[in-house]
């Protein structure tokens, strides 16, 4: 995790640092209905823990932090509007979700659909993690796809060549990042609420992260 020099209290990670956000391809409700059976079947779908690990890495790489397009739109995947539940069309083609939970669910849904279907919304093959990210942030659209893939693999512990339907649970996020942010809370440069907003979405390490955040809030209240 790196600090944005222009905004010391904001942590920015990924290819979008200093670059404009780009809407990512997305499917509408009809596509999800077509694969509803396979999306519900645990034996034929993608490991839910793997979906969460990849979704968290994408959210980080897309630059989800207070003030960003992704954050403002409750859209951690920077998905384009395609009629998703709980969303409306926003500026630049982005979906604007009514809540963060709705936006994060749409991100997970899109990852799962791509993996189960074996293609993206445009029919391009999506079988491996590298395929997914190459489709999500194609070089043809001005993205640094290689860096994006490298970041996601480092965050999750997966390999770019790993088959999406065979992924394990992935890597639990390191709590050291939260220790750094707690220091910012204590110094008054970061809001405790922003700290909590950044951890509510971490799966396997959620209790550790939330516990650390609560401790920060207690300490902050005693200043």
In the block, tokens 């700290």 appear at 195
* pLDDT tens-digit series, residues 143-170: 899 999 999 999 999 999 999 999 987 6
Rounded Cα distance, 164 and 190, in Å? 37
Rounded Cα distance, 211 and 218, in Å? 11
Q: What is the DSSP letter of 24?
A: B
**φ, ψ for residue 33, nearest 5 deg:** -65, -35
Question: For position 121, what pLDDT does the model report?
Answer: 85
Question: For position 209, what pLDDT does the model report?
Answer: 46
* pLDDT tens-digit series, residues 24-73: 677 776 665 666 555 555 445 789 999 999 999 999 999 999 999 999 99
For the chain, the helix, strand and coil percentages under 3-state DSSP, each to the nearest 5: 50, 10, 40
Rounded Cα distance, 182 and 215, in Å? 9
Say which residue, 143 or 15, is predicted with more confidence: 143
- The answer, yes or no, to whether residue 3 has pLDDT greater than 60, is no
Classified as helix, coil or strand, 186 is helix
Longest dimension (CA), the chain: 56
Helix segments in 91-128, DSSP class H: 100-117
- Percent pLDDT > 70 in the chain is 57
Split at pLDDT 50, 70, 90, the class of 122 is confident
């Amino acid at each position: 995790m790196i600090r944005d020099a222009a905004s010391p209290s904001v942590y920015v990670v990924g290819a979008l640092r200093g670059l404009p956000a780009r809407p990512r391809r997305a499917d509408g409700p009809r596509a999800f209905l077509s694969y509803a059976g396979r999306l519900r079947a645990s034996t034929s779908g993608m490991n839910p823990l793997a979906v969460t690990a990849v979704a968290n890495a994408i959210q980080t790489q897309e630059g989800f932090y207070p003030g960003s397009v992704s954050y403002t739109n409750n859209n951690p995947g920077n998905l384009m509007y395609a009629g998703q539940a709980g969303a409306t069309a926003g500026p630049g083609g982005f979906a604007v979700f009514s809540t963060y939970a709705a936006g994060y669910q749409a991100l997970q849904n899109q990852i799962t659909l791509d993996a189960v279907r074996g293609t993206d919304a445009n029919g391009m093959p999506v079988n491996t993690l590298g395929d997914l990210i190459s489709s999500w942030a194609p070089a043809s659209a001005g993205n640094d796809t290689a860096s994006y893939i490298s970041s996601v693999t480092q965050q999750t512990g997966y390999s770019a060549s790993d088959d999406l339907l065979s992924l394990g649970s992935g890597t639990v996020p390191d709590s050291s990042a939260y220790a750094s942010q707690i220091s910012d809370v204590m110094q008054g440069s970061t809001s405790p609420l922003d700290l909590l907003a950044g951890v509510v979405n971490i799966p396997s390490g959620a209790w550790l992260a939330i516990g650390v955040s609560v401790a920060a809030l207690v300490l902050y209240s005693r200043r």
